Structures are given as C-alpha cells and as structure tokens.
Structure 1
Amino acid sequence: MEKQTDKLGLIAGNGSFPFLLLDAARARGLHVVVAAIKEETDPEMDVRAASDSGMEVHWMSLGELSRLIETFQKAHVRNAVMAGQVRHKQIFSAIRPDWRLAKLLMNLRTRNTDMLLGAIAKVLSDEGIELISSTAYLEPMLAKSGVLTQRAPNEVERNDIAYGLTVARGIAGFDLGQTVVIAAGACVAVEAMEGTDATIARAGALMESVEEESSTLARSLTVVKVAKPKQDLRFDVPVVGVPTIRAMAAAGATCLAIEAGRTLLFDEASMLREADAAGIAVVGEAKPAMV
C-alpha cells in the first residue's frame, strides 16, 4: 500500500464504492477531501459530510480538471483515489472540458477510458497529487478463489466459463469492456459503454427472443467478468454486488465467474445470499499466469 498521509483525496463516481472507501479511510483516521462529480456522485455524500467533521465535499462537473487540482492543492492533499464508476458515455459525450482537460483530450492517441484516466493521473502527479490504488483500503473485499456460493457451476457452466474467460480477456485487452455473457458455448453479449448490468439485461432479452422462435432451445446464461490484462488498480477495477445478482436473476442467468484478487465484492454476504436464493453459482477464478 502507498504511504499514508493524514489526508486523502477521494474522486467520487456513482454507486456505493465511494462510500465504502470513505468509511475505510475514516476508520484509519484519515481526513477525506471528496471531489464529488455532479453528474455521478450520490447526493447522500452531502448528508454524510454534515454528520462527519472528518470529511469535506466539493462539488464539480466532470470536465473541471483544473478545479479538481486546485481543490486538492488548497486542502494539501498529496494522495488521492478514484472510487465509483463514471459512465463511459458521460466521459466521451456529456463532458464539457475546461481548458486543461480540453488540451489533454486533444493529445490523446486513443479516446478510451484507460488512455484518458492514465493521462489525468499523469497531470495530477505533475501537480503533486498521486493517485493510489482504489483497492488500497478495501483489500478484504477482493474476491477469493473457488466456489463462493452453495451451488457450484455444473459442467455446461464450467465450459462456458472457460470460453468466456478467453473472450472476456481478449476484449478487455482492447479496453472494450470487461464482461461477456455466454450460453452453451456461444457468446450472446459483449459489454461496451452500457455497463455490466445493461449487458446482462441485453443478453437476457436476446435469449428470450431466440427461445420464442425455438421451443426446443433452452440455454442458461453464464456471466464472466474480468480485469484487464494489465489492469491499473487506480481506476476501473471490476466490481460486482447485489445489483449484479438481481440483473442476472431477471435475465435468467445462472452462473457468475469473476477474477479472484482483482474483483471487488460489494456487500458480499448479501450478494451471496441473494445468489443462493436465486440458484446462481458464483465462482472466483484465478488470474492467468501471464498477468
């Protein structure tokens, strides 16, 4: 883990991730300076700040890179962490960049999230603000290897996991997405900008239409989610939780495979309880040796 200071900058996206990281940092006695993204961060962040003198919240739009830097510098923040998803379509369509971010975007060779966030990290570092791993305070939440639910994957699901891992690692290497949905050895859906839950829903809809055309065809869906081959743990770490399981249950998916040690499980007990109730198998797969 990176050397700690008495202050931590938190660049907060959507979902529960920023709150989990905030709790972990506060438990270690750190004062947390939150850069809350207007387009993404839950307004609950203000409620938390009102009851916790050990944190402060500064709201800013997604494109205000200069303001982000000035906020952290004024607060004497030296280490910062990104937590919570920023939707890909927000980054590349809804964004209104300030002069600093506009210059950065113009110089990007490829407009994908890895390239953009890596460039932002470099700008922050040049300004004396180091981005650290988003798992730095949440290591106990990383998925373990092996079957995590009461039910283990059956033979068909195991075969789909093996195929899905090959496909998912391939597309993740191109920063296209980190999730694929497989049925009986066929790739039904590949994640793009819409996110994991929307990908699962799309796969469920596709399979429903196929099964309507063929009454003899009934295939369960296996969801495979991986980290990128050279995953930068400072941002875009794979995350699954209760919403993932609910999306799977709604789509008729029966198995979830994730990469052990490189995927965060949010509210693991509740997630696995819902998976067991729905008959969904969840398994942590070891990362490949070449990673």
Structure 2
Amino acid sequence: MLALIAGTGGLPGELVRHLDARPIICALEQFPPEDLAVDMPFRLETFGTLLAALRERGVSEICMAGAIRRPDIDPSLIDSATVPLVPILQKALLAGDDGALRGVIGILEQAGIRVRAAHHLAPDLLPPAGCRTTRQPDDRARADVRRAVEVVSAMSAADIGQACAVKAGQALAIESIYGTDWMLATLAQRPDPGQGGVFYKAPKSDQDLRVDLPTIGLGTIRAAAEAGLDGLAIAAGGVIILDEAAVIAECDRLGLFLWVCERDG
C-alpha cells in the first residue's frame, strides 16, 4: 500500500490524479495541501507515531511530493514513539534542505518503508526532451541556457537553489530560500523590463531525485512573462511540468519558448 506525504503546491494533487488508486494522504498540520483531503495529519514531533500507524495499515511505500517548509518544533509535544528519532531529526534539520530530506528518507527506510519518486509512480509528469512551443530558442537564448546550466551547477555545490535567470551570459537573478516565484517577481521590477533573458531550472547535482524534484506550472510561465524573459528551459528528466498541455498553450499565448533540454544545454 502507498502513502503520500503531501506538501503545498500543485504536485500532490496532480500526482493523485495520475494514480489508479488513491494513496493514504498524510500531511504536516502546519502545511496541508491545498486541494487534497488529508487522511492522517501529523506533526514532526509525532513522526514516530505516524510511522507506526502507517505500518499498521499495511503501508510499504511512501512518496513525498509538494513543498514543505521546516516547521517550528515544540519539544513538549514530542511523543514516546518519536523520542528515539530525535537525534536523527535534529541532525537532519541542521543539514540544509538536501540533508533534511536524506535524514527523513533514512528514517523511512530503517522503518522498512520504501521511498518512491512521484515521477516513477506517474512517468507522464516528466516531459520529453525538446521544444514543443511555437517559439523556439534562438542561438542567443541557447548560449544563455548553457551559461545558466553552469550557474545552477555552481549553486548546487553551495545548496543554494535550483533556478536562475540569465541574459547575455550574465546571471540576472538566482533562486534562494524564497523560491522561484520570488526570484521572478524581483526580475519584474528590474530597470529594463521586457529586455529578454532566459529562465532555467534543474535539480541539484547531488540531489536524491526520489524527493523534492523541481516543478514548474502556469504560475511560473506567467511570472516569467511578467519578468520580461524570452523563454524558459528545464533539465530533461529532472523537472516536472504541472498540467503540461495548459503550460505549453500559455507559453504560446504569451510568446515564450519552453525548452526541455539536456544538461549540456
């Protein structure tokens, strides 16, 4: 049996719509999904109890999908089943985003629960390589994407983010803890709006692709247009498109390209 630890954003609901059978939906009380009914809400302070309850219900696989911010911890709420996990959770929370996810994966695997990737459960979530929009990237855009690949690779080493915007070989903005939407919103306020550039997104180089695979959706496309960019590129096999047909249609309406490219640009 499959359980889904659902975060915020459109991915959890999109994943459930792709599955033949509805999984058990779990979610942190502080960050429930927007469009799914939660079967088993939990706090990190009661994570051990959640694992025990899942095993009792016959859960052997878990998928983690959606955005989850680090919750505030109330030590007085830590229950007896979670106490043995506290050292692991503490170390994970201090290890950056990737370290935190690896810590949780380790706890799940030690409990005998297999961690499944969203795109393995629903392969259609990952788009094929190529550019299916009406507008295609020209030579200048392709050169900027190659530069953006280098920028995101350098960001990966510092565990900074998964996206950037580049124009004429120069980084206009990089994704930080505030996320892609914030980065694009800052670009919309630049002194030369409408002057071009490309957006690029990819998973971090050492990222465990079973969890936290980056996503884009209609909001990303509209924000890129408002920022005055010429188009978007994403790493083939590494970025999920939510509602792909609608995203391509929106790119065509706004005059943007969307290029699913190999890592070498």
TM-score by length of 1: 0.81
Distance in 2 (alpha carbons) for counterparts of 1:288 and 1:100: 44
C-alpha RMSD over aligned residues? 2.3
After TM superposition, give the deviation of residue 35 of structure 1 in Å.
0.7
After TM superposition, give the deviation of residue 135 of structure 1 in Å.
1.1
Give the structure 1 partner of residue 153 of structure 2.
169
After TM superposition, give the deviation of residue 264 of structure 1 in Å.
0.9
C-alpha change, 1:82 and 1:278, in structure 2 (3 Å) is same
1:11 aligns with 2:5: yes
Any gaps of 5 or more consecutive residues in structure 2? none
1:132 aligns with 2:108: no
After TM superposition, give the deviation of residue 173 of structure 1 in Å.
3.4
Query: SS of the residue aligned with 1:20?
Result: helix
Query: How many residue pairs align between the two structures?
Result: 259
Distance in 2 (alpha carbons) for counterparts of 1:40 and 1:149: 34
C-alpha change, 1:222 and 1:13, in structure 2 (3 Å) is same
C-alpha change, 1:225 and 1:67, in structure 2 (3 Å) is same
After TM superposition, give the deviation of residue 222 of structure 1 in Å.
1.1
Cα deviation 1:51-88 (Å, max 9, x = unaligned): xxxxx7111235532233123122110111001111xx
1:144 aligns with 2:128: yes
Give the structure 1 partner of residue 41 of structure 2.
59
Kept after mapping to 2: 8 A contact 1:33/1:75? no
Q: Which runs of structure 2 are paired with 1:106-117 in the superposition (5 Å)?
A: 106-108=90-92, 111-117=95-101
Give the structure 2 partner of residue 236 of structure 1.
212
Cα deviation 1:131-154 (Å, max 9, x = unaligned): 112211221221221212110112
After TM superposition, give the deviation of residue 179 of structure 1 in Å.
0.2
1:260 aligns with 2:241: no
Alignment-mate amino acid for residue 58 of structure 2? H
C-alpha change, 1:276 and 1:101, in structure 2 (3 Å) is farther
Give the structure 2 partner of residue 225 of structure 1.
201
Distance in 1 (alpha carbons) for counterparts of 2:141 and 2:105: 39
Kept after mapping to 1: 8 A contact 2:149/2:264? no
Alignment-mate amino acid for residue 94 of structure 1? D
Any gaps of 5 or more consecutive residues in structure 1? 1-6, 47-55, 213-217
